[in-house]
């Protein structure tokens, strides 16, 4: 099995000597859980796309500093690929920007959130029973770093996680698409470095709360990463997929 990582962004340049790229963060986490799986990364920002949706068995879209509503040419290409993956019912996971652009591609809407930045470790309520079973709990906490949000979800998407700050924090589309607004691939240290980077852009109270959360919240990324790994490696025997 091969998982394709559609890299919509990467680690800021001045942090690249200490931290892996966003694509590699996922590869390193998932290959520990599924050593039998291979990976291939595509830098879609440079119009590096797979030749076909069947180039890989399942797909993951990373976070990005870009905004979905910029609608640049590579985003248009990515949305076309998302719709093809959805049509053929391949497993697809979206993280932060990936969460948002999947929603946009499938009929939802993304915009700048009037409530401000979502940064630090955020806790989300799990409101779907299947998701509760997968995560083994009714809430979870992961790093977040976003200014945009899904403001209107696609009609076929079901909310599995939410918070007062982020109404559509986790979405499921039938049994083949899983998306989350938070960043289960981010460590406390990396999140702290990002906060330092945005020191002059964030309101002092937001920054203070975010930094406090790095110490006060119990980071629970491993459960979400385990679910993502299982979701992407679930057996698929669709004749439609095999015939293309």
pTM for this predicted structure: 0.95
Q: Rounded to an integer, what is the distance from CA 129 to the centroid of its chain? A: 21
| Residue (of 92, 82, 164) closest to 123 by Cα position | 164
Residues in the chain: 244
pLDDT digits (tens, 9 = 90+) for 191-226: 999 999 999 999 999 999 999 999 999 999 999 999
* pLDDT for 243 beyond 70: no
Separation between Cα atoms, residue 182 and residue 220, nearest integer Å: 11
What integer pLDDT is reported at residue 234 of this predicted model? 86
Separation between Cα atoms, residue 164 and residue 178, nearest integer Å: 21
What integer pLDDT is reported at residue 242 of this predicted model? 41
pLDDT digits (tens, 9 = 90+) for 218-228: 999 999 999 99
| Banded pLDDT at 189 (limits 50, 70, 90) | very high
Identify the burial level of 78 via C-beta atoms within 10 angstroms of its C-beta, where 0-12 means exposed, 13-18 middle and 19 or more buried: buried
CB 240 within 8 A of CB 89: yes
CB 161 within 8 A of CB 78: no
């Amino acid at each position: 099995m091969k998982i394709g990582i559609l890299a919509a962004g990467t680690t800021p340049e001045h942090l690249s000597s200490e931290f892996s790229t966003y694509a590699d963060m996922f590869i390193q986490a998932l290959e520990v859980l599924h050593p039998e799986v291979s990976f291939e990364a595509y830098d879609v920002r440079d119009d590096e796309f797979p030749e076909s949706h069947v180039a890989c068995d399942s797909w993951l879209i990373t976070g990005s500093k870009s905004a979905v509503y910029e609608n640049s040419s590579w985003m248009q290409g990515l949305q076309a690929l998302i719709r093809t993956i959805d049509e053929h019912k391949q497993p697809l996971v979206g993280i932060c920007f990936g969460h948002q652009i999947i929603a946009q591609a499938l009929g939802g809407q993304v915009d700048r959130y009037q409530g401000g930045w979502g940064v630090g470790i955020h806790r989300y309520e799990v409101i779907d029973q299947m998701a509760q079973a997968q995560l083994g709990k009714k809430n979870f906490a992961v790093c977040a770093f976003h200014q945009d949000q899904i403001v209107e979800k696609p009609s076929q998407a079901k909310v599995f996680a939410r918070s007062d700050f982020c109404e559509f924090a986790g979405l499921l589309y039938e049994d083949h698409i899983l998306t989350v607004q938070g960043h289960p691939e981010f460590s406390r240290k990396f999140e702290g470095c990002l906060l330092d980077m945005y020191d002059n852009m964030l309101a002092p109270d937001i920054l203070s709360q975010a930094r406090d959360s790095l110490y006060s919240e119990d980071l629970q990324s491993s459960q979400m990463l385990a679910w993502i790994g299982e979701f992407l490696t679930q057996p698929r025997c669709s004749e439609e997929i095999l015939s293309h």
